[in-house]
Amino acid sequence: MNPQPSSSACGRLEAAWEVLRQIPDPEVPVISLWELGIVRDLRETAGGLEVVLTPTYSGCPATELIQDDVRAALARFGTVEVILQRAPAWTTDWISEAGREKLRAYGIAPPGRVLDSGAQPIRLVHRASLSKLACPRCGSANTEKLSAFGSTACKALYRCLACREPFEYFKPI
Ligand SMILES: [Zn+2]
């Protein structure tokens, strides 16, 4: 006989979290929605689940796709309602350290920090250091910006002058 699934609400929610944390980002499948920081909450409802997501960029075409993916992945838990919470707005600072490492390994330079614990205006610091963006492949700072937009509006296109490989930069917001 198969082991009975836990009937406790807690076990069910825990199982749903487990599934939710694994759902990949449709645009960059190496990173999960959880690592991207857009999953804000998961709650149980009478008939199923309620998932709270904060979309990355307003008008990002992936938002619809992400909602469909979440509904499909959690369908076995009942009715899945996706709530889009737009405030506070998502920032690239919400991308986890593990997520940043995965982006780099995938060949996308992870975004610089927008805010920091200190009082320094990081946006300005960041802008000044844009030309010295490190290549995710070889680490060289000898890179140049090719285009403000890469494969998606969320990314910019760069080229490394050391290894000559183009790469994308996840723009910080
Ligand atoms: Zn390089």
If you search the block for the tokens 């997501």, which residue do you land on?
53
Give 35-70 pLDDT, tens digit per residue.
Answer: 999 999 999 999 999 999 998 876 667 888 999 999
The span from the CA of 145 to the CA of 143, in Å, is 7
CA of 143 to the centre of ligand 1 (A): 8
The span from the CA of 62 to the CA of 25, in Å, is 9
Is residue 27 over pLDDT 60?
Answer: yes
Is residue 150 over pLDDT 70?
Answer: yes
Q: How many Cβ atoms sit within 10 Å of the Cβ of residue 55?
A: 18
Instruction: For residue 65, report the phi and psi dihedrals to the nearest 5 degrees.
Output: -60, -40
Cβ-contact 125, 100 below 8 angstroms = no
CA of 167 to the centre of ligand 1 (A): 9
Instruction: For residue 158, report the phi and psi dihedrals to the nearest 5 degrees.
Output: -125, 170
CA of 23 to the centre of ligand 1 (A): 30
| Structural domains of the chain sorted by starting position, each given as residue range(s) with its CATH number in brackets | 9-84 (3.30.300.130), 107-170 (2.20.25)
CA of 31 to the centre of ligand 1 (A): 22
